[in-house]
């Protein structure tokens, strides 16, 4: 994939409440989240989905938000603290080579990979790390922006995901996105 990362300053725009007009984070993630879950959110930016994930997992759940850009993580931490969810968030800065999830191997219930896999320098490695972090039966919602990712690239990502231990469950509809719901075998 490209390995070209969204600039940190664009995180403010992507976290804007106006975005909810075409992508409501609550409606998008609600079918997959329940209280007490451990959620992995790679590439969270400044937390457009993170606050909603934290709200839905409740006080006994946890959201592991991993980004390679420290400024994105700083912005995310401010936003979740302001919303009162800081205690539910494990915000981490990853390296370009690894998400650094060894400590949560086999513990993740759900991964939200929203508009970020195409930015990974090695998308196959991403799916492998996500599979290692996931419990058996865990779900992964993959959504890529239609304007940035061609249908051929999206199909390649799906092949990489299935090659890493996920199977395709269905293709839910999310506006302006190519989407797949996957399940760890």
pLDDT at 14: 56
pLDDT at 10: 55
Assess if residue 50 is contained within a domain. yes
Least confident of 8-17, 65-74, 101-110, 137-146: 8-17
Its domain, for residue 159, covers 8-16+23-184
- Both tokens assigned to 74: 């700083």
How many folded domains does the chain comprise?
1
Assess if residue 161 is contained within a domain. yes
Q: Is the pLDDT of residue 166 over 80?
A: yes
Determine the average pLDDT of the residues in 108-117.
95
Burial of 166 (0-12, 13-18, 19+ CB in 10 A): buried
pLDDT at 2: 46
Assess if residue 2 is contained within a domain. no
Determine the average pLDDT of the residues in 29-55.
94
pLDDT at 119: 85
25, 134, 161 from 19: Cα distances, Å: 9, 29, 28
Assess if residue 3 is contained within a domain. no
Assess if residue 121 is contained within a domain. yes
């Amino acid at each position: 994939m490209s390995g070209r990362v969204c600039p940190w300053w664009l995180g403010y725009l992507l976290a804007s409440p106006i975005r909810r007009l075409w992508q409501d984070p609550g409606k998008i993630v609600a079918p997959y989240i329940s209280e007490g879950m451990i959620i992995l959110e790679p590439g969270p930016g400044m937390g457009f989905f993170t606050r909603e994930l934290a709200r839905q997992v409740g006080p006994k759940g946890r959201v592991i938000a991993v980004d390679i850009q420290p400024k994105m993580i700083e912005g995310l931490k401010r936003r979740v603290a302001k919303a009162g969810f800081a205690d539910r968030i494990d915000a981490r800065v990853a390296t370009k080579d690894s998400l650094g999830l060894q400590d949560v191997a086999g513990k993740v219930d759900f991964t939200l990979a929203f508009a970020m896999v195409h930015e990974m320098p090695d998308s196959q490695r991403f799916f492998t790390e996500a599979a290692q972090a996931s419990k058996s039966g865990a779900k992964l919602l993959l959504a890529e922006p239609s304007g940035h990712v061609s249908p051929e690239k999206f199909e390649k990502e799906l092949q990489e995901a299935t090659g890493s231990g996920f199977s395709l469950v269905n293709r839910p509809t999310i506006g302006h996105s190519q989407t797949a719901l996957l399940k760890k075998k």
